[in-house]
């Protein structure tokens, strides 16, 4: 009897790839039953690309918006993803706003993680924004991506309290702890229809 085929994912990153790292570890331990087909970055200097290569995962670096227009870059990324028969596109700190055309290509199959309790504090500076607002708590949101920024059906959320002496760095560290636990667990449920 043949083994069931694991869902295949492409992970998109821009920086250190700490959530990608958590996903790689979860796959290696069996907590996340998925194959990472490729890691894609818009940043040639992203430390996460080196981490992925060290883990033996295929990588692709796009010239997104540098030498190549956005539409061309996204078309190239979509082509790379489709050639690898990927089931899900997993955004893990990918700091580009995807066009409606890209979202349409993979509609309902792009998942993102965001460091706030959406719909509150969308955007690239959520941790700074929540501190400036004087909020008592923030959190982590995992959602399906649609054409709007930091929008789309929410799959999972977890609250993170804000402590009196929190800085961006200290709050980010506690948010990352939650992300690294919540993302692989939620992906396991999502990829295997348990949400």
Q: Which two tokens stand for residue 45?
A: 């200097």
Catalytic residues: 114
């Amino acid at each position: 009897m043949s083994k069931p085929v694991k869902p295949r994912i492409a992970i998109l990153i821009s920086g250190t790839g700490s959530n990608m790292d958590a996903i790689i570890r979860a796959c290696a331990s069996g907590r996340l039953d998925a194959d990472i087909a490729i890691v894609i970055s818009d940043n040639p200097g992203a430390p996460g690309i080196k981490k992925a290569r060290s883990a033996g995962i295929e990588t692709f670096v796009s010239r997104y918006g540098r030498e190549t227009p956005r539409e061309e870059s996204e078309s190239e990324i979509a082509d790379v993803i489709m050639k690898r028969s990927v089931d899900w596109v997993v955004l893990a700190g990918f700091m580009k706003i995807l066009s409606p055309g890209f979202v349409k290509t993979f509609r309902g199959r792009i998942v993102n993680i965001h460091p706030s309790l959406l719909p509150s504090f969308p955007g690239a500076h959520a941790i700074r924004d929540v501190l400036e607002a004087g909020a008592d708590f923030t959190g982590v949101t995992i959602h399906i991506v649609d054409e709007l920024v930091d929008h789309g059906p929410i799959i999972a959320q977890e609250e993170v309290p804000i402590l009196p002496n929190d800085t961006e760095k200290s709050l980010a560290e506690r948010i990352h702890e939650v992300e690294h636990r919540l993302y692989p667990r939620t992906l396991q449920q999502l990829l295997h229809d348990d949400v």
